[in-house]
Chain A
């Protein structure tokens, strides 16, 4: 089975879907931008407060945090929402008939999600920078690898929640709570003991260094990059294990196609 052709098929499907749901995609970006504007307005009114060190100390920090948060939400929610939608409509069972195994279709979907959310979120970033007048370093060579490392954790959570949704069905509330948990993970500074072992936190800190302080990837502390990567891989692995366990239960109870 050629995994390349599976990836190509998934890319073509998602490209088609993106075109069909264009209005949807744009409006969700616009609403995220609106939320940012509200926060920005709030920050301006308490600007003295901001300078003392809360919310990571700076407006730049907020932009970076918001940028990473948006990526995270896209990564995690695309994965788990799509899984739920496909289980509901019945296409999930057809994906389970793929001879490469569903796990590769899922992996291809995660990759395609990242690629197709990259450009819109970058546009959002530019819009945020333009509105606030704070221009951050757009060093893509340093940024993209760090984003990928950071998002591994989000994909892990996506797989885990997607798996739970297969078995327990109505867990949308958990998804919404998760969005706020992600904000927490991006806001708590990594110097707080133990925080760097949580998903997103360390990677977010490194992205901050690249975008705000202008540090190139190879000048960042290797130990920190390694920690961020290891944390990402571990959370991804845990997510996939949880998904596999849930898949097993779903197949035992015949739940794959029923919602």
Chain B
């Protein structure tokens, strides 16, 4: 049997929720994406964009209205629940673990449900606990751990199942900066060391930019971008500008720029001012210049800015909203 190149294929996935008044909400609307083996895919989008619903449909926790999901070459619906042997997940907004059991007891329980319980497996669990700095807390009841440790323990429990695919839904939500960075660096390391496929959802672009190779951006239930993070950044790098003005900026300049260019910022210095702006269309530079001229601004210097995913994302979501 040939090994399929795709770890996951999602085709025309649609999920409609019907409210009490009969109003239908298309939480996921004809979503298609592909995840290659060994890839770390980011699923980025604001709250309510349909990330969690998509993940839950893939995992069989929700029944989609239509669409096809193929996991490692197998039709997920036809192979349910056996196909779950290939997938594990940390789900957002719930506990994922038994709080009255220790970290180790949770790891053993959930991995046994996946039939992972050999001596070699246990050594691997120990390795994971060390990697996530949870080794000392191994026999502590989960409820006694800090929020960050609880989250890390959930991730360990998912990874301990040794599945080729791992879904992490908002893994850094509610974590302090330090723990978030730690979790991210461990995930990057694991993704490099083990040839597993990760799908990481987040509304935090930093996380995606840091951890993922490719990003699928969702907005209002639809996929609006599906691209390599690096490509997306270079695309936008050419459009992000920093303009230095001689003398302070005139009153209300930022207010005039903001409606035209999303995320435009003006910072006043002692004897100068700086404008950061992302241009999305070819004619934008002329409109920008027109505004600056009418504000009597004297331009000292124009330079490219390094794009970050946050600006890219804000721009994309803004365009998407304007279109719909």
CA of A98 to CA of B161, assembled, Å:
10
Known pairs A89-B94, A90-B94, A90-B96; A100 contacts B63 (CB<8 A): no
Known pairs A9-B113, A91-B98, A94-B110; A256 contacts B63 (CB<8 A): no
Instruction: With both chains docked as a complex, state the minimum distance between the C-beta of A85 and any C-beta of chain B, in angstroms.
Output: 10
B78 beta carbon closer than 8 Å to chain A? no
* Contact A99 B81, beta carbon cutoff 8 Å: yes
Instruction: Write out, one digit per residue, whether chain A residues 1-41 have a CB within 8 A of any chain B CB (1) or not (0).
Output: 11001101100110011001100000000000000000000
B88 beta carbon closer than 8 Å to chain A? yes
* Contact B109 A12, beta carbon cutoff 8 Å: yes
CA of A17 to CA of B101, assembled, Å:
7
Say which one of B31-39, B52-60, B183-191 lies at the interface with A: B52-60
- Which residues from chain B contact A90 at a C-beta distance below 8 Å? 91, 93-96
B62 beta carbon closer than 8 Å to chain A? yes
Most A CB within 10 A of own CB, among B85, B88, B98, B113: B113
CA of A101 to CA of B84, assembled, Å:
9
* Contact A91 B63, beta carbon cutoff 8 Å: no
B97 beta carbon closer than 8 Å to chain A? yes
B82 CB contact (under 8 Å) in A2, A20, A99: A99
Instruction: With both chains docked as a complex, state the minimum distance between the C-beta of A92 and any C-beta of chain B, in angstroms.
Output: 9
- Secondary structure at the A interface, as helix, strand, loop or mixed, is helix
How many B residues have CB within 8 A of the partner chain? 38
CA of A256 to CA of B117, assembled, Å:
27
**8 Å CB interface, A227-251 against B:** 248, 251
B99 beta carbon closer than 8 Å to chain A? yes
* Contact A98 B96, beta carbon cutoff 8 Å: no
A52 beta carbon closer than 8 Å to chain B? no
- Which residues from chain B contact A8 at a C-beta distance below 8 Å? 112
Instruction: Write out, one digit per residue, whether chain B residues 99-127 have a CB within 8 A of any chain A CB (1) or not (0).
Output: 11100010011101111010000000000
* Contact A89 B99, beta carbon cutoff 8 Å: yes
A5 CB contact (under 8 Å) in B63, B100, B117: B117
Known pairs A16-B105, A21-B100, A91-B98; A254 contacts B85 (CB<8 A): no
* Contact B96 A94, beta carbon cutoff 8 Å: yes
B24 beta carbon closer than 8 Å to chain A? no
Instruction: Write out, one digit per residue, whether chain B residues 62-89 have a CB within 8 A of any chain A CB (1) or not (0).
Output: 1100000000000000000111110111
CA of A97 to CA of B84, assembled, Å:
6
A253 beta carbon closer than 8 Å to chain B? yes
Known pairs A94-B96, A251-B63; A257 contacts B109 (CB<8 A): no
Known pairs A99-B82, A99-B84; A105 contacts B100 (CB<8 A): no
B61 beta carbon closer than 8 Å to chain A? yes
- Which residues from chain A contact B99 at a C-beta distance below 8 Å? 89
Instruction: With both chains docked as a complex, state the minimum distance between the C-beta of A20 and any C-beta of chain B, in angstroms.
Output: 5
- Which residues from chain B contact A257 at a C-beta distance below 8 Å? 56, 61, 91, 93-94
* Contact B100 A251, beta carbon cutoff 8 Å: no
Q: Which residues of A pack against B, CB within 8 Å?
A: 1-2, 5-6, 8-9, 12-13, 16-17, 20-21, 89-91, 93-102, 105, 248, 251-254, 256-257
Known pairs A5-B112, A99-B115, A251-B62 / 7 extra A-B pairs, C-beta < 8 Å: A90-B94, A91-B97, A96-B61, A98-B84, A99-B83, A99-B84, A254-B53
